[in-house]
Structure 1
Amino acid sequence: MADRTDPPPQASTVEDALEQVGVLLMPLMNRRYLRELARYRLLLASGARVSSERATALVRWWDTLADAMAGHHRAMDEVFRAQLPHRDPEFDAVVASMSARYESLESSRSEAGRRLTGALRDGDSPTSAQFSVIRLHEEVSAVSSWEEREIIPRALRSFTAADWARVEAFVIATQAAQDRLDHVLPWLCAELPADRARRVFASFPVSTARSYHSAWLPAFERFAAQAWP
């Protein structure tokens, strides 16, 4: 293709290569999932008692995280199923494997959420919740590594810059369609360096950036202070 954009040779990591074709939020999402799951693992391992108010916030935080993750993976499955198989016959098996891995994650995520809710809110033993969260954390880590090894390099070789823009837009539109963008955007961007945050917001309408700074970020910070003081 005349307008194909391959990763420049100086791209030393998958994330570097993605950033060079304008993909900023997808790699962030996987990193954030792993960080959040590690937080819950540490909380459960500590055996610390939490107040009922904090328990409610932690369960709501988990539910929001789980919904964002589920929406992200559905979007990835749909967009790569639509884009990749047309580029190379080998992609059919790769995309089928992606779907199976996401289905397994959905099952592990549901189990971990149920047990975590029981441990935090209903006084159940934290042990089973701890094992379930560890399992999910390790599975998300494995799937993220598999994406970077099997999916992203193929797409980097085959997609144009416009293709990548559609992928990124579809993943974020999925969050917006479920009214999660007011949480997901600050969750992804609140800790970014200012120059990178500016690059992210350049892809959104000006009204989104205004809403982010005036309402979404303050609400997110209040919620974060409840869940993770």
Structure 2
Amino acid sequence: MDLNDTAARLGVPVEDVERVHRLAGDLPSAPLPAKADAPALLDRLAVRPDDAAEIMAGWPDPGSPLWPPELRWLLDRSIALVRADLGGYGWLSPGPALPRERGPAWRHLYVYAYLALVGVVTGYHREHGIAEAVSWVTLADLGRNLAIDRRMHREGWPVMQSWLTLHARGGIYELGRLQHHRGGGAIDLHIPDSGPMTPEAVAASLDEARAFFPRHFPDE
């Protein structure tokens, strides 16, 4: 493939395409869920109806005119890039920020990548003995971030697309009121946009984390 041509067609710097090509290489990707199953999955991930409608409208159906070859390549390789770092907890960009005004496929490309990785990361959770309830409340940060991006007039997503790779790799867990982010020698705390904070809720979340991480990540 011609990386310069791909970058020009995507409307992004060639350095960004070269990075995806270098990190993803020929590594395995992951399939999207069946389109018929997508509405229920989006609902489980707390995606609002207006965002879910856009995601379904841009779905990468075979032969869809919304998906030129360079966009399909980027989707496949961004999934592979994130999947290759399963279990990682560092900041990771899945790919370049795209010109989202081109339509729902461009606007939600990294949402489709996230959906493809749900099965991968929930498998990782199961291997670590993590309860399904924790998995789903953690992964439902997708819907929250899409809603925030919409409130921000579509200006928040370039940061959020990288933030959500933490969830898709098993790097962050929502335990009660706080999100707990695995790290090299400490747990970082994040405050999701999910209502009021009380001292009792914070204390309960910290207590849960003190039991959670030694149980599920004893080597850390």
Structure-1-length-normalised TM-score:
0.30
- Bigger-Rg structure (1/2): 1
Higher relative contact order (CA 8 A, sep 6+): 1
- Specify which structure has the higher proportion of strand: 2
- Specify which structure has the higher proportion of helix: 1
